[in-house]
Amino acid sequence: GYIMGRGTCDDKGPAIAAYYAMKILKDKGYKLKHNIQMILGTDEENTSAGILYYKKVRKNPIMGIVPDADFPCIYAEKGILDFAAQGKIDSCIKYMKSGTAFNVVISKADVIVDKPLAKDYFEKFLLANELTGECHEDEAGSHYHIDGKPFHASRPYMGVNAAVKMFEFVGSCYNDEFSLNAVKLFKDPYGVGLKVAYDGAYMGPLTFNMGKANIEGGQVYFALDYRYPNECEGSNLLKRSADIIKEVLHIDTELVDDSKWLLNDPNSELIQTCLKHYRAFSGDTYTPPLRIGGGTYARSFENFAAFGPIFPTREYASWVGAEHEADEGFEIETMILACAIYANVLFDLACEQ
């Protein structure tokens, strides 16, 4: 069976699995050589403000696991650069609303265009691009809606960005220069349009996501996100992006947050202990430690690693969504198995043998 709802697999369900792993050790009465504590942050999707405050007022742990990713273990996380671009524009788009967050591919886009309705062209565009949408006209102008496919910004190529598709439609249908230029810069999920594409030796390619695109009163706002490998520097990426956005769209760019990449030694005690117990419980002796484009609280502390709860060898039902997707779910058997793995890892790292 499954537990359904936003947060069940990212990250409330895994937090409960870790809590019960701790409770098992406590109820068994094992003697500790290191204290075990659970630290719950509440702002990981944004600026991690809660954890930053914790680090100022409490003694930092010497090592730890974060149940916010995949098994067998995460040894590397890409850097995350969030930045905004905004300013006055000249476009036939009077109004646009799309996107919810920096770290999610835009799933729905709505615009009002100050031009006659192009229903036939729009329907052909939807068909050619395998999209769904609708349109109508009233006294405010021509209304268009496009549905995309949401996905986490760590793998934007797995989603369909509804705002990018909307700019493609408006640009091609109405020859709108701003829309055409937005497509030129923001369509490619590897940063080719912004001239920052890079394939890292350890962490793989840089990726790019446009998470919001809003227009009102002649002003545009973009929420933009990079996931970059350890060979890149966030400050350099921001400067290069700001220069080309200013040159092409004539709007300004500002930093929102830059979270540096994490790179652990795969042969460390922490990583190897996690691997040992994952392999013992799962029977999977082939999957190596992983690198991800997502960001977890592991990067907030020294000697921390994201660890589970998703198993690479277990398939979910087709109707169950992943994190940030519709119908997000967490398999109950996976949750119980993850709890057992966490308990054994904590026993090895913190209890007297």
CATH topology of domain 79-259: Alpha-Beta Plaits (3.30.70)
DSSP-derived secondary structure letter, 260: -
- Return the pLDDT at 309: 94
Tell whether the torsion through CA atoms of 228, 241, 161 and 45 is positive or negative: positive
Query: Cα separation of 62 and 41, whole Å?
Result: 18
What predicted TM-score, i.e. pTM, was given to this entire model? 0.86
| CATH class held by domain 2-78+262-350 | alpha beta
Which tens digit of pLDDT belongs to each residue from 81-110?
A: 999 999 999 999 999 999 999 999 999 999
Which tens digit of pLDDT belongs to each residue from 175-218?
A: 999 999 999 999 999 999 999 999 999 899 999 999 999 999 99
Phi–psi pair at 282, nearest 5 degrees:
-95, -25
Q: Average of pLDDT values for 146-166?
A: 96
Q: How many CA atoms lie within 13 A of 28 on its CB side?
A: 14
- Return the pLDDT at 190: 98
Which tens digit of pLDDT belongs to each residue from 314-323?
A: 888 899 988 8
- Return the pLDDT at 322: 82
Q: Which amino acid is at 222?
A: F
- Return the pLDDT at 44: 73
Between 171 and 353, the more confident residue is: 171
CATH 3.40.630.10 residue spans of the chain: 2-78+262-350
By C-alpha distance, which of 190, 103, 106, 188 is closest to 152?
103
Which tens digit of pLDDT belongs to each residue from 37-78?
A: 999 998 777 677 899 999 999 999 999 999 999 999 999 999
Query: Cα separation of 160 and 147, whole Å?
Result: 9
CATH 3.30.70.360 residue spans of the chain: 79-259
Q: Which residues contact 174 (CB under 8 A, 6 or more apart)?
A: 92, 113, 115, 118
**Which of the four pLDDT bands, split at 50, 70 and 90, describes residue 333?**
very high
